[in-house]
Amino acid sequence: MTCLLLVVAPGVGGCAHQTVDPSARLPGWALDTRPAERPRPQFGVRGRSESSDFVVAALQSAGLRFGTDGTVGSLWQYLRSAHPSVDPARARPGDVLLFRVAPAPVQADACESPDAAAIVTAVDESGRIGFIEARGGRKLLSYVDPMHPGIRRDAGGQVRNSFLRVPRWGEPLDAPLLAGQMLCAVARPLG
């Protein structure tokens, strides 16, 4: 850690720590939605989950050394055992979002079996989180508003929560479709 000497008054000094945006450690391809081939994870199993491969490759490229079995659940196990979880209201660029996209019975731990992961790119003053996800063979810029999980757009027409899936035939009409309804955890691996 870099320490800069901060002189407050003659004879009085202190240490001021430089704050570096954690997302600056991520490779540029992880925060860019333009089409490009995404690197695959360096360690662990690959190809079982597109979103897991994307996040794992980005974190490994940022210097973390770990492997998974290629699933989002395994990525979540690593994140929660080695890095702090944070409240969604405190999310910042570089954090990892975990979602429970597939409809499932209500569980005591909402994030017991997440099935999608993404990387936070920005958080605006209203708390809306922008994130990059890999889905359907593409990288997408999406949004989640943890304070308003069931709202698609605000009164001004701005997207507050992106759709993470389409409705399936025969499922209840109130089945979750929006990112805010499916967000189950935020981890801070680069902080």
What is the per-residue pLDDT for 36? Answer: 74
Question: Which pLDDT score is estimated for 131?
Answer: 97
**Residue 42 burial (CB count, 10 A):** 13
Q: What is the pLDDT of residue 43?
A: 79
Residue 17: phi, psi to the nearest 5? -90, 135
Per-block average pLDDT, block size 10, for the chain (191 residues)? Answer: 36 43 80 78 85 94 92 94 95 95 64 92 96 91 96 96 89 86 94 69
Sign of the alpha-carbon torsion through 42, 86, 90, 140: positive
- pLDDT (0 to 100) of residue 107: 55
For residue 105, what pLDDT is reported?
57
What angle, 0 to 180 degrees and rounded to 10, lies between the N-to-C axes of helices 72-82 and 50-61?
Answer: 40
Phi-psi sector, 46: left (phi>0), alpha (psi -120 to 50), beta: beta
Sign of CA dihedral 91, 93, 95, 96: positive
